[in-house]
Structure formats: structure tokens, C-alpha cells
Amino acid sequence: MVQSPPKLITVNEFITQYGDNNYELIDGELIEMEPTGPHEQVSSFIGRKLNVEIDRQDLPFFIPHRCLIKLLGTETAFRPDVIVLDQTQLINEPLWQQEPVITSGKSIKLIAEVVSTNWQNDYARKVEDYALLGILEYWIVDYLGIGGREYIGKPKQPTITICTLVGDEYEKQLFKNNDQLVSAIFPNLQLTAKQVFLV
């Protein structure tokens, strides 16, 4: 039996048809996201902790409930688990007034992706695309320790990888157990990897 290739759609069709659903679009192909309860707990916990820092420092940032990142010049749109936006930059976003779609890395202070079965996208594809977009900080939160050994080491265990943009590439730092997370965007954040994983 010959399988037909998946039907590809444009990013504009994706936003119109799937903008509020649990899908991402990668190179025109629909990717269904299947978050579990624990996945949503971890995402929510991170968002809550970052919101506390935003309030404490009185920063012009916020975390939207739903938001897509449209990579210009491609048929790709990501739906991050947690995204911290700089509201002072939204005036430069061409789609923002009509729909929660971001096209410029300057509008994004931080993204956190909680790893699930599609871990290859979080560790490889998104690292490249988010760096090209100029996103300053990208967290890969692997609460199950399912990423490849080349990404999280051996033995495999729950790991948070914080990618900090230096030039046009990310420098990566791994955090496990009681390691205190180090964030350039939130330098006063008091949070350990273990606290995130115990949610």
C-alpha cells in the first residue's frame, strides 16, 4: 500500500483554520500537539513564576494565553507553550491587532517549550528557527527526560536547557535536580529545575 504525502497548507490557511486549535505548522505540514495534564501543569507553573517576576520588576511584558509565531518567508507557525512578549514592541507587529500572531523576534523576550513526544522539534528545529528569529532566550523543559542523550546527557533525566542568544546562535546551559535556573531575561528568578519538575 502506498501512502500519499500529507496535504500541505499555507501559513495563512493554517491561521484561519487552525489558529485556535492544538496544532503547529512546520513547512506546510500540520503537526498535532497532544499535551497531557502534567505537560499543562508544567507550562502553567512556569508561566505563573515568570508572571510573578514581571510584576515584581514592573516590566512591560506579558504572557498571552494563545499566540502563534509566524516565521516570515516560510510555511511554518509555532505555538509555544509559554511566550513572554514585550508590549512596547507590538506596535511593529503587522498582524497583532487582528489576531494573536507574532512575526518579529524583537517582540519576544522568552519562549519556553515543554517537551513531549515531538521532542526532536523542540531540541533541533526550534533551536535553529528561534535563533534565526532573534529570540533572546529559549527554554527547553524536558520534565520527563525523554530528549536524546546528545541533548540531555547520560543517564537521561529531567533537564531544563536554557538557550541564550549570543550573536546568531544559542549558548546552552543544562539544569537538573537542585540547579538554580539562570535567566538573562529574569536575572533575579529564584527557581530550581526540581521545583519545575515536582509540579
Specify the CATH number of the domain 37-67+78-197.
Answer: 3.90.1570.10
Q: What is the pLDDT of residues 152-167, one digit of tens each?
A: 999 999 999 999 999 9
Q: What is the pLDDT of residues 69-80, one digit of tens each?
A: 999 889 999 999
- Where would I find the beta strands (DSSP E) of 41-190? 61-62, 68-71, 76-78, 82-86, 101-102, 108-114, 137-142, 159-166, 169-175
Residue 8 main-chain phi, psi, to 5 deg: -90, 145
Grade residue 31 by pLDDT with cuts at 50, 70 and 90: confident
Grade residue 35 by pLDDT with cuts at 50, 70 and 90: confident
pTM of the model: 0.93
